[in-house]
Amino acid sequence: MTTRQMPKPSEIFDLVQFKRPELDPRKRRLDSALTIDDLRAIAKRRTPAAAFDYTDGGAEGELSLARARQAFEDVEFHPSILNDVSAIDPSTTILGDGSALPFGIAPTGFTRLMQTEGEIAGASAAGAAGIPFSLSTLGTTSIEDVRDANPAGRNWFQLYVMRQREISYQLVERAAAAGYDTLFFTVDTPVAGARLRDKRNGFSIPPQVSLGTVLDAIPRPWWWWDFLTTRKLEFASLSSTGGTVGELLDSAMDPTISFDDLEIIRRMWPGKLVVKGVQTLDDARKLTDLGVDGIVLSNHGGRQLDRAPVPFHLLPTVAREVGADTEIMVDTGIMNGADIVASLALGARFTLIGRAYLYGLMAGGRAGVDRAISILAEQVTRTMQLLEVNTVDELGPEHVTQLTRLAPRTLDPALHV
């Protein structure tokens, strides 16, 4: 028989510790987020469907995005044992300078539509964390204002080569004058991908208001208050701001873009030049032979060509063939610090996060971006400790196996003469 007794009032506080309530609602909801998926769930609750779906969605059937995320889930790690991992250093060097963490913030368009602090929140959070911030040609904060928000940090600029070449050239000159150290020459957007979620939502700049929009806004008054009481939403680098996403992209992009354009921009740009959107080994080789400073293996977050190659699948082959001659970065599908560690192990020098940062932005502005960076940093550090490596340079292919779920079908030669 169990002997029971009533606890003494003086002993209750020794047995149970009461948690002090957090009175700040923003801090309370961000503290509750333990993963990027948690931030995504908060973002979805707080953001109108059109803005959330623009961030969350991909092209057509969204197969590229789903496959990219599945590729990271299909990773098997191989840890070492009995190594002292009490002091972990997750810092790295990329394109000639340091980064406190092995990831930076990817360029994203329409950012202030997600949450009105937009690129200012991203740039200032990146500066505080000691990582690079990338501004998109379709950003909603000017080149100069981003520089002012991150004056001591590393700012990178992503360039679309437009039909009106002079607009692109002027942006290159402005980014150089503002002290940006790296230019991302983007090559996977000759035309806009079919963003079906955006078409169904009537997503546009400025936002279109319909009965559905109004009904969707009722439970999210804070978003509309922010939107209506802050400066007008427009592209900070472009003069044309009206139309659907596809119309805007198609007016800005140019299907005639070529290697000649790359050479022109290369002559204009004084800093590091990186080509973003590489999706084949042959193109990686060609760009390396041309002497670019780096390449980003990317299918544009699954937002352009659906069924495009999975960058993480392509990474080991490209790293083996050209990794000694150019710096390789990877994006698309990264939702966990373990994804970042796996990418570094298979040959990436650096990684870029897009949606992960935007989920934090929508969940809580600048504080939400800080939280997203913190979550990923904690996951990177913990994964490194459990693999028992002390620095990112110690990571190698021996630490990771890419489990096979999608593999090319072997054709019978006799059937294809």
Catalytic residues: 300
Q: How far apart are CA 374 and CA 127, in angstroms?
A: 13
Tokens of 401: 């196996």
| 3-state DSSP of the chain | CCCCCCCCHHHHHHHCCCCCCCCCHHHHHHHCCCCHHHHHHHHHHHCCHHHHHHHHCCCCCCHHHHHHHHHHHCEEECCCCCCCCCCCECCEEECCEEECCCEEECCCCCHHHHCCCHHHHHHHHHHHHCCCEEEECCCCCCHHHHHHHCCCCCEEEEECCECCHHHHHHHHHHHHHCCCCEEEEECCCCCCCCCHHHHHHCCEECCCCCHHHHHHHCCCHHHHHHHHCCCCCCCCCCCCCCEEHHHHHHHHECCCCCHHHHHHHHHHCCCEEEEEEECCHHHHHHHHHHCCCEEEECCHHHCCCCCCCCHHHHHHHHHHHHCCCCEEEECCCCCCHHHHHHHHHCCCCEEEECHHHHHHHHHHHHHHHHHHHHHHHHHHHHHHHHHCCCEHHHCCHHHEEECCCCCCCCCCHHHCC
Tokens of 16: 């149970």
CB 253 within 8 A of CB 160: yes
User: Contact, 144 vs 165, CB < 8 A?
Assistant: no
For 101, 158, 221, 373, 376, the CA distances from 88, given in Å and listed in that order, are: 11, 32, 43, 17, 15
